[in-house]
A and B are shown apart, each in its own frame.
Chain A
Amino acid sequence: MPDYSWPPEDKRTLIGKRITRVDSPLKVSGQAQYTYDVHRPGMLYGKILRCPYAAAKIVSIDTSAAEKMPGVKAVHVIQGPNTTIHWSGDEVVAVAAVDEATAEDAIRAIKVEYRKLPHLVSDAEPPKGAAEEQGPLSVDDIDDMLDNQVPSQQMVKQIQDYGMTEKADERGLRMLKSDGASDAVLDAVRAATVHTDVAAKPHSNYQKAAAVTVGDPDKAFSEAEVVSEGLYGTPVITHCCLESHGSTSEWTDDQHLFVHMSTQNVSGIAGQMAEKIKLPATNIRLHQDHIGGGFGSKFGPDRWGIATAEISKKAGGKPVRIMLERDAELKVAGARPSAYARVKVGAKKDGTLVAWQSDSWGTGGPGGGGSPPIPYVINIPNQRKQHTGIRNNIGPARAWRAPNHPQAAVITMCALDDLAAKLNLDPLEFFLKNIELARPRHEIYREEFGIASDLMGWKQKWHPRGQGGSGNTARGMGLSMHTWGGRGHSSHCDLTIHPDGSVELKMGTQDLGTGTRTCILIVAADTLGIPMNAINLQIGDTMYPPDGGSGGSTTIGGVSSSTRRAAVDARDGLFAKVAPALGAQPDQLECANGTVRVKGDSSKSLSWKEACSKLGAVPLTVRGNNPDPSKPPDLTNSGVGGVQMAEVEVDTDTGIVKVKKMVAVQDCGLVIDLKTAESQCLGALIMGISYALFEEKVMDPTTGRMLNADMQFYRLAGLSDIPELVVHMMTGKGYDERGVIGLGEPPVISPGAAISNAVANAIGVRVPFLPLTPDRVLSALQQKAGA
């Protein structure tokens, strides 16, 4: 059995080193092609008419004037009369025309009559008595969820938790399938417990999940010596991918569709389009070279992606492009659910944590949103938790980098920081005192806190809460910790060595800008002993072996493992062919520095090209897979720990918060490329500063519309908002041998909590909700002064 395991540190030539991203030259020169840059011959421009109301019933649609306009090639109704609209900006009609301006003119010529319905866009604390227990679901409820783009995983959980009011018959299941239900959802419906005795009742906007109790919280609170109570939360924010969602579809003949799509899920889109456009997935080809950001929001074809295919068909198969305008991108193409909580937490005088109680709520739009995993990381022995999901008309939620974790970190780490302040303890000492509650990674966190403290100068800089300086400038320090899974997803890698020495590697994965291309090449080149630029890597197409979607930090573990297995098999296949020429056994050979040679005998050596010529006429081709229990060991793993510290300066006259320094110490098992790994952490810190200080999807309660659907008022952090950033990756013994683990999510979890804690430390009072805008800071200061 070949040895697939990762090479030990002294044998690695590329893995774990600081390697420059291979596609950077294309990106800095404007040559990298994104979906938005694809301009197919004869391409038509699609535009979408969107519903202005947050809740409405479509009464009638008149497209006749648009259809008659010169230059308009097709008009397609996406949601017809009698459809209920659940958020403002939802898609109603799509138009394709010879240019964008004509398509816009056509959209304006369409008349839609709506009947407005009452809406709710608030995610404020549920009024007392408003929340109702979620009952069993009807088939109509499931259909509603599909209509509202509730993520499949969330639907499955709800079906499992609450059961169904009726046994779904074949007709019902077929209907759900044709409305886009995934197999997992259909399986859950089939397996659901049926509660025929409970009639489905009209749903409240407020759905209470079952309360969770761990240990004996009442007893623990009565015995606690210090109890801290507080209010914490994070609002709905958007993904704001710079390349908006969209695609170009064209029918190459009446049975074949060619799609360019901005997607995190190259191999998974065809299957999601097939049912809707009544075409086998095998007949749908999808291609993407580069993607301008996804962050969790680009896993499906979306209604507008399906619309490009349908409208292209109506236009005789001509390519039709629909890329969302910025306002639509911010309104409908995904948002991170909000989460707020009233928390009570108790400890002994020495800081030992004993009890947690939380009443939390939040919204993910029509789906109600997920419930954050609180208390986060620190598993307090006695807990009582109650969560209420708010179903409202704010627009659909999508996975946003580390779903539910940043919210959980804010609620937990801020509550614990307030408790530490009440105990007059340095939060670093307080967290270390309770670090055993962070099992099983407590030793990792302990080590990381030590390193972070040194890099930040925590001991020199930290001061008790509120002693942040005199005058109008207050300095403060805060910290947070986080975890994530990140096991590698399903991945398949085809590697071919040609007799002329050229090497080709094909995978249906995608590079989100995380460095996936670079890392695949590092693994293959390190294994084959040839330079990275000697390998022709092709990704981003359904013509290549399928790979998982890039979500949940699963890509690096998947692609590195399948590539390693393929490269080892290809290398050993080559050794078998070359061994006779070198007068040695295959297992005596090694690949290094562009040669194939006998281990320990440098006189017996062939150049890579000479060695490959021994393959004969037929190229050597192999397939590497992940997972692959037949080819041990497991090369990927799950579970990482990371800690972060923030130093801020607050202007107490204006309420403006400036982050002065941040430190991230992060573990992710074996690092493939140290350079792009550090960039992931640096980027996460910056994205974290952005959501901590600026980002919020602001809704107008009267009209139900988003008020800041542009990049002037939906603010992202700019270059001048970014301070000194220090990243330390945990590598070497204790880390490398765990295998490759994902890194995209973990470092973006802690910044909000660390910065909020630093602000509390600076000004002596908690600003309850992110973003920490000047008005919120001033209002907290005012309350403190009045208290």
Chain B
Amino acid sequence: MRDDDPIHDDVPEKTEERSGVSRRGFLKIAGVSVAVPLVARPEMVWAAGEQVPVHGPGKVPMEFTINGKKYKANLEPRVTLLDALRDQFDLTGAKRVCDRAECGACTVLMDNKTVYACSLLAIEAQGKQITTVESLMQGEKLHPVQQAFVENDASQCGFCTPGFVIACKAMIDKHPNPSPEDIRHGLAGNLCRCGTYDGIKKAIAQVGQKGA
């Protein structure tokens, strides 16, 4: 991690009760906060009928649990989870492609659920278990989903691949023997340009048979 200023006392409160605030939702709230000075402790304001803390617009200290490890950084509240992963923590497996929750190249797990890291604010990912593609290998050994991708040639340029691998893992964890409908639904949020879907389907079939 690059920006490893020590976290001071006033780490923002964890805000589990408002999990999953979208970027758009956040921007609405953030509009209220323009005049907030660069202080650490968040001001509480009324927004959308409830009291919410307002952070920023300057950098605020944040703390994350990614792949079981703690990461700290001072970030502006407008920084997305994807940009934090890629630019602060050098976890570049998740890719920025559409940047609008359309293509799934940035897919990571948050508390074991697939999320689009491009459209989730980093500040909202605090207190959650974030899992990225970098964590799937056990030492030198590929995860069964990754191994099946390799054997079935399910990547070409490979830019969509990490997102697909995570989405497939989440789908297989939930449906060890996925039906065509499970596959359709589980991978509906990911897009590929080179055309590797045939290999991905075969990879899923292989893992479904062998087990993950």
Chain A residues close to B by CB (< 8 Å): 20-21, 23-34, 36-37, 39, 99-101, 240-244, 290-293, 295, 323, 325-326, 512-514, 675-676, 678-679, 682-687, 690, 710-712, 716-720, 722, 725
Contacts and interface: CB of A to CB of B under 8 A. Distances in A.
B39 interface: no
B194 interface: yes
A34 B162 CA distance: 13
Contact of A27 (B86, B103, B161, B195): B161
Contacts of B173: none
B165 A34 contact: no
A37 B79 contact: no
Contact of B95 (A26, A101, A242): A242
Interface in B115-140: 132-134, 136-137
Interface of B: 76, 78-79, 83, 86-87, 90-100, 102-103, 105, 132-134, 136-137, 142, 146, 149-151, 153-162, 165, 183-184, 187-188, 190-201
A30 B137 CA distance: 10
Given A24-B150, A29-B137, A719 B161 contact: no
**Chain B CB within 10 Å — which of A31, A325, A679 has the most?**
A679
A29 B169 CA distance: 12
Nearest to B132: A30
B157 A25 contact: no
A326 B99 contact: yes
B156 A513 contact: yes
A711 B94 contact: no
A447 B156 CA distance: 29
B99 A719 contact: no
Contact of A39 (B90, B100, B137, B184): B90
Max chain A C-beta neighbours (<10 A), residue from B79, B96, B100, B157: B157
Nearest to A37: B92
Contact of B194 (A28, A36, A687): A687
Nearest to B148: A28
B100 A24 contact: no
Contacts of A720: 184, 187-188
A729 to B, nearest CB: 14
Contact of A514 (B87, B97, B156, B201): B156
Contacts of A679: 153, 156, 196, 199
Given A36-B92, A676-B153, A679-B196, 17 more contacts: A20-B150, A20-B151, A23-B158, A24-B149, A27-B158, A28-B154, A28-B165, A31-B134, A242-B159, A242-B191, A293-B194, A513-B157, A678-B153, A684-B195, A710-B102, A716-B191, A719-B192
A293 B193 contact: yes
Contacts of B162: 27-30
B153 A241 contact: no
Contacts of B183: 719
Which of B79, B96, B154, B195 has the most chain A CB within a 10 Å cutoff?
A: B195
B207 to A, nearest CB: 12
Given A100-B83, A686-B195, A291 B157 contact: yes
22 contacts: A20-B151, A30-B133, A32-B158, A33-B92, A36-B96, A37-B92, A101-B78, A242-B192, A243-B97, A243-B157, A244-B97, A293-B159, A326-B97, A326-B99, A682-B195, A682-B198, A683-B156, A710-B98, A711-B97, A718-B191, A719-B183, A719-B201
Nearest to B96: A36
A28 B142 contact: yes
A28 B150 contact: yes
A53 B142 CA distance: 50
Contacts of B201: 719, 722
Contacts of A240: 193
Contact of A29 (B78, B134, B193): B134
Given A242-B95, A711-B100, A512 B157 contact: yes
A222 to B, nearest CB: 46
A25 B146 contact: yes
A513 B155 contact: yes
Contacts of B197: 686, 717-719, 722
Contacts of B142: 25, 28-29
Contacts of A243: 95, 97, 157, 159
- Chain B interface main SS type: loop
A685 B199 CA distance: 13
Given A28-B142, A675-B153, A682-B195, A39 B87 contact: yes
Nearest to B153: A679
A676 B195 CA distance: 12
A683 B196 contact: yes
Nearest to A244: B97
Nearest to A104: B78
Contacts of A31: 93, 134
A679 B157 CA distance: 12
A240 B98 CA distance: 10
A24 B155 contact: yes
Contacts of A325: 99
Given A24-B153, A718-B191, A719-B190, A292 B98 contact: no
B134 A711 contact: no
A295 B156 CA distance: 12
Nearest to A673: B153
A719 B202 CA distance: 12
Contacts of B154: 28
B201 to A, nearest CB: 7
A32 B158 CA distance: 8
A338 to B, nearest CB: 20
Nearest to B189: A718
A744 to B, nearest CB: 11
A717 B103 CA distance: 11
B149 A711 contact: no
Contacts of B196: 679, 682-683, 686
Contacts of A513: 155-158, 194
Contacts of B105: 242
B163 to A, nearest CB: 10
Given A28-B146, A243-B159, A711-B97, A716 B153 contact: no
A722 B180 CA distance: 12
A241 B190 CA distance: 15
Q: What are the nearest 3 A-B pairs in CB distance?
A: A30-B93, A686-B195, A292-B159
Contacts of B92: 30, 33-34, 36-37, 39
Contacts of B151: 20
A684 B198 CA distance: 11
A679 B195 CA distance: 9
A725 B198 contact: yes
Contacts of A292: 95, 157-159
Contact of A30 (B100, B134, B153): B134
B156 A28 contact: no
Contacts of B156: 513-514, 679, 683
A266 to B, nearest CB: 15
Contacts of A32: 158
A37 B158 CA distance: 13
A290 B195 contact: no
Given A30-B134, A39-B87, A719-B190, A710 B100 contact: yes
Contacts of A26: 158
Contacts of B98: 326, 710-712
A686 B157 contact: no
Contacts of A20: 150-151, 153
A718 B155 CA distance: 15
Given A37-B86, A326-B99, A722-B198, A101 B76 contact: yes
B98 to A, nearest CB: 4
A240 B192 CA distance: 10
A28 B78 CA distance: 30
A352 to B, nearest CB: 37
A325 B194 CA distance: 20
Nearest to A325: B99
B100 A326 contact: yes
A34 B83 contact: no
Given A243-B159, A513-B156, A679-B156, A711 B103 contact: yes
